[in-house]
Amino acid sequence: MPKPPLRAPGEPGLAAQRRRMQVIIRRLRRAYPDAHCSLNYATPLELLVATILSAQCTDARVNLVTKDLFQKYRSAADYAQADLETLQEDIRPTGFYRNKAKALQGMGKRLAEAFGGEVPRAMDDLLTLPGVARKTANVVLGNAFGQAPGIVVDTHVARLSARLGFSNAPTPEKIERDLMAIVPPRHYVMLPHWLIFHGRAVCRARGPRCGECMLADLCPSAGDGQAGAQAGAQAARRP
């Protein structure tokens, strides 16, 4: 059975993308009503640390590490004053532990010196912290503070954005801009969670279950298991 057209005859491209995105959001909301941030945290600092550790590491593994880490390091000062080699060992299972330990120590020092030990609530301030790029800042602002200056783009969001025909941009920043042009701001925080849950359950990097996908009739890549894989892999390598 042929797929319905992705845009109505004569409908401008951007308007068609917005219309299709609205339908996709409605379906994802129904399918994943309990979608949420997969990283375990109780404070903005814990979320910041967990997100830094999540670079090129699964959320499940990060959660295993932070279970003990958050008991040992409870403040920005704790990270700032940590013995670097000890901190490296504490986070070793997350990979790239030397760079991550330096980032956490530098982050703690910056928070203590410039922000009274508190995680700032502004994008520009967060971006001054070692180990923090726009993706990490969006995660913290959206999930810890309920702010939505942008859209988190991780490997799942990048992959699904490409497969769904919303963005083939080569960087998370450009993918984010493409998505922000068609996604209502009220969905900036939740859209990544819905896409991540769908990416893990159905639209997998390898062996996507297109036959089980509630978005197949809206997806130009349905049946093509390789579409979007490269975009997701590129995004996964960025903080």
For 8, counting Cβ atoms within 10 Å of its Cβ (0-12 exposed, 13-18 middle, 19+ buried), the class is exposed
Nearest-10 crossing angle of helices 155-163, 172-180: 60
Active site residue 67: no
Residue 54 — φ and ψ, nearest 5°? -75, -10
CA distance 108 to 106: 5
Contact residues for 148 (Cβ-Cβ < 8 A; gap 6+): 141, 142, 185, 186, 188, 189
CA distances from 6 to 16, 49, 52, 65 (A): 7, 41, 37, 44
Of 196, 199, 201, 205, the closest CA to residue 224 belongs to 205
Query: Which residue is catalytic, options 154, 174, 217, 224?
Result: 154
CA distance 46 to 185: 26
Of 49, 55, 54, the closest CA to residue 238 belongs to 55
Q: Which residue has the tokens 């994008």?
A: 123
Query: Which residue is catalytic, options 59, 90, 100, 135?
Result: 135
Active site residue 135: yes
Catalytic (active-site) positions:
135, 154
